[in-house]
Amino acid sequence: MATDILDVIRTKRDGGTLDEEQIRFFVSGYTEGTVADEQAAALCMAILLRDMAPDELATWTRAMIESGERLDLSGVGRPTVDKHSTGGVGDKVSLVLAPLVAACGAAVPQLSGRGLGHTGGTLDKLEAIPGWRADLSVGEIVDQLALVGVVVCAAGAELCPADRKLYALRDVTATVEAIPLIASSIMSKKIAEGTSSLVLDVKIGSGAFLPDRFVARRLAETMVGLGQAHDVRTVALLTDMDAPLGRACGNGLEVAEAVETLRGSGPADLVEVTLALAREMLELAGLHDVDPAEVLADGRALGVWDAMIRAQGGDPDAPLAVAEHRHQVVAPVGGYLQRLDARGVGVAAWRLGAGRSRKEDDVSETAGIVCLRKPGDEVEAGEPVLELHADDPALFEPALAALAQAVVIGPEPSEPRPLVVERVS
């Protein structure tokens, strides 16, 4: 029987399996403040080193969910389905996908986050739209889902407060990479939001949070298992993030590209990934007879986007701010663009002001990078390949340093990488 936190730490340190009583003792104690940060950090490190069994992790995730409220979406009048991405460079899929799936007849309750480091955050992007607000009450979320069919907003403090505290702690204790803690953090919030089904977009490649395919697949399998253990129909796609997705990387730049895509003129790679995820979401939602490609092409998804932005106080017709300064990166030689390293581009955009190092940092609405050429394109010497956007021209130098090895040009085009690599169910 767990009588103090040391019993819990010792059990996991020595490779044991935490029982339900130990898990609930820790989660409730840490949420309420009776377990100290250093003790929680010790347990997180023990989990990183010792892992967790599937049943143990399911119990841990359930305790995280029950530390706060769980939304009841039974009254929205549509099948509910959501999507979560592990993050990447230029990944504005949610901006297109959420209104698209809603236009197909589902309700999409997307509680999203902010970016950290070289990967962007959906809320940061949407906040580039004048007037748009991320913080909604539970009542506003449910009402908007019933009226519009989609909401993209921040998770309120009442959802998974234990995860809110643990997430911040993991960030400063080198335990972010623990697969059980990543999986339970993502899935506890998604399950607590009340969706009936979920599609996971797990990125692999240089720009991904977990670049290694084997590790990413293990995370996908773990999250799918957690979803099924909590009666949420869950599927994962492993998708490529070796090059930026689309052409725009940066908050306002990505919003503009998302709107272009909703108008039918988006980049082919962004459209392909979006439609692949949409088809999975619609299948889980039981909407088998709807073709998302047709809904994207005929403007219905754009109409839902406009309604969603207006419902959250934004003006979808307002012009987006643009950066004061631009700098082009040109091809040093002629040939084919064989590689455009996503991590290098992401770090450069971050250094330009599009990302943050700490959660409390501000981000620029206008900073970022536009990829004028993508892998496989033929280029001439001196031709612009990238265009950097910044509010302060002094930021170009550190951004260019991050791009030093990001652009690779050769005499022949490289073999194209598949965008959808694997399905996990």
Q: Provide CATH code, domain 5-50.
A: 1.20.970.10
Give the pLDDT band (50/70/90) at residue 119. confident
What is residue 355's predicted lDDT score, i.e. its pLDDT? 85
Q: What is the pLDDT of residues 44-100, one digit of tens each?
A: 999 999 999 999 999 999 999 999 998 999 999 999 999 999 989 999 999 999 999
| Given 12, 189, 233, 373, the catalytic residue | 189
What is residue 2's predicted lDDT score, i.e. its pLDDT? 47
Q: Which two three-digit tokens encode residue 55?
A: 């049943």
The pLDDT of 332-356, averaged and rounded, is 95
| Given 82, 91, 124, 163, the catalytic residue | 163
Task: Decide if 83 is catalytic.
Answer: no
What is residue 121's predicted lDDT score, i.e. its pLDDT? 87
Task: Decide if 203 is catalytic.
Answer: no
Whether the model pTM is above 0.75: yes
Interior/surface letters 262-281, b for 16+ CB within 10 angstroms, e for the rest:
beeebbebbbbbbbbbbbbb
**Options 2.60.40.10, 3.40.1030.10, 3.40.47.10, 3.30.390.10; which CATH number does 81-162+175-311 get?**
3.40.1030.10
Q: What is the pLDDT of residues 399-417, one digit of tens each?
A: 999 999 999 999 999 999 9
- Alpha-carbon gap, residue 65 to 267, rounded angstroms: 38
54-68, 149-163, 278-292, 407-421: segment of lowest average pLDDT: 149-163
8 Å CB contact between 193 and 71: yes
The pLDDT of 179-198, averaged and rounded, is 95
What does 56-122 look like in DSSP terms, one character per residue?
HHHHHHHHHHTTS-----TTSSS-BEEEEE---SS--HHHHHHHHHHHTT-BEEEEE---BTTB--H
| Given 83, 84, 92, 389, the catalytic residue | 84
Q: What is the residue type of 348?
A: A
What is residue 356's predicted lDDT score, i.e. its pLDDT? 77
Q: Provide CATH code, domain 325-410.
A: 3.90.1170.30
What is residue 116's predicted lDDT score, i.e. its pLDDT? 65
Q: What is the pLDDT of residues 372-395, one digit of tens each?
A: 999 999 999 999 999 999 999 999
Report phi then psi at 152, rounded to 5. -120, 115
| Given 24, 114, 125, 170, the catalytic residue | 170
What is residue 361's predicted lDDT score, i.e. its pLDDT? 75
- Alpha-carbon gap, residue 101 to 108, rounded angstroms: 7
Task: Decide if 185 is catalytic.
Answer: yes
Task: Decide if 84 is catalytic.
Answer: yes
Domain ranges of the chain: 5-50, 81-162+175-311, 325-410
Task: Decide if 263 is catalytic.
Answer: no
What is residue 177's predicted lDDT score, i.e. its pLDDT? 85
